[in-house]
Amino acid sequence: MLGRALIRTFLSPAPVAACTTQISGVHHHKEATDMKRFTGVERSNKAKANRNTHVNEKMFRRMRGRKTLIVELPEDSAKEKEADMAPGEMRTELLKRGLNPYKEAAPRVWNEAQVTFQSIYGIADPYVPPENPGSFTDVNNKFDEVKQRIQHKFYNWRMGTNRIRKKQGFEKFDVKTFCAKAEDIYVRAHKALEARDKKEMYRCITEYAFAKMWPDVENGSVRFELVEVVEPSRVVAVRCFDNPPKSGNDIAQITVRMHTKQKLAVYDRFGGLILGSENEEKDVVEYVVFENHIAVVDGEWRLHGKIYPRWIEPKQGMHITKELTDEDMMRQQDKAKALPLRTTEKLEEEKMKKEKGITDD
């Protein structure tokens, strides 16, 4: 009996303080044999969104609320309202905030761009094939050049002539008869630029070309004369595209190679020669782009821009220089001698301070 009592004493559990445990109420049955339920891929109780949802969620409501931090963010709608405000309304709003609208507020910055649907600001395909075929020494370059030429001719037909002829009023369009028209537009555009006739310029050039050509005569002048056409002009590229894309608003661009002999002189606002000469004739080879809004029946061809291929050296402007005469040299020397040196001025200032008894301290 004593032995049994001792055994019961040693085997009996030690007294434990009373405690409470939170029952999760999660269905863990059959997870030992089901790997998907054990890893959490599938829920044992599909009615519950979370596998570890507690039975009594009210106990932890305050604790979950403490995890949320409320941050006051500025309203985006306020900036939109300010952008739409009139100057008077904006001034009243700044005064309500206690800000001086003339000192503490930054001025508005307006980013505006002109949009037109009858022309495009740029050239669709500025590629021009070289006039002289490349040498056969480099096989890779020769293959690439032949490939580009074939693609270029295909695009001229597929995305150019064929697409233009489908438009109303352009069924009989032919690139062979277009060159004479292009030369006439080219001359009329430069004559209108020389005369500063804006109405005639808008008939002959697009908005894109006007932004580039008008500054030459806005603060200066241009003199132009076409002496002769050295080689017959020919069309080298025809492109047609719609702007915006897939809208049906088709715009056509034709690149014409023009080899002419002309006189061109550009002067600044003081009458100084900047570029070219009125008396000297010069051979010029240009690739001029003409554009037409073919989506409408009354569209007209206008000068749009020029292409400068990579194999052509860019034009260099004239350096504005002037030869000084002997009188100019003497005048400049007299002006230089009349200017006082800074060291002399410093010595005179120190001398005046000493006479007045003023010290740096």
Q: What pLDDT is recorded for position 296?
A: 87
- Average of per-residue pLDDT values in the chain: 78
For residues 187 and 207, what is the distance between their CA atoms, to the nearest angstrom?
18
pLDDT at position 11:
47
Q: Note the pLDDT of residue 17.
A: 47
Report how far apart the first and last C-alpha atoms of the chain are (Å, whole number): 113
Given a cut of 70, whether residue 62 has pLDDT beyond it is: yes
Query: What does each C-alpha distance from 220 to 143, 166, 198, 238 come to in angstroms?
Result: 48, 44, 15, 35
Of 11-25, 69-83, 312-326, least confident by mean pLDDT is 11-25
The reported pLDDT for the residue numbered 261 is 92
The span from the CA of 96 to the CA of 170, in Å, is 63
Cα angle 226, 319, 331 (rounded to 5 degrees) comes to 125
According to the model, what pLDDT value does residue 340 have? 65
Q: Looking up tokens 């508005």, which residue turns up?
A: 108
Residue 23: predicted pLDDT: 45
Question: In the predicted model, is pLDDT for residue 331 greater than 60?
Answer: yes
Q: Which of 73-87, 240-254, 255-269, 346-360 has the highest mean pLDDT?
A: 255-269
Contacts of 30 (CB under 8 A, 6+ apart): 37, 44
Higher pLDDT, 219 or 8: 219
Please report the pLDDT score of residue 158 as a whole number.
82
- 287 pLDDT higher than 70: yes
pLDDT, residue 136, reads 46
Position 2 pLDDT exceeds 60:
no
pLDDT-above-70 percentage for the chain: 75
**Domain over 139-313 is classified CATH 3.40.50.620:** no
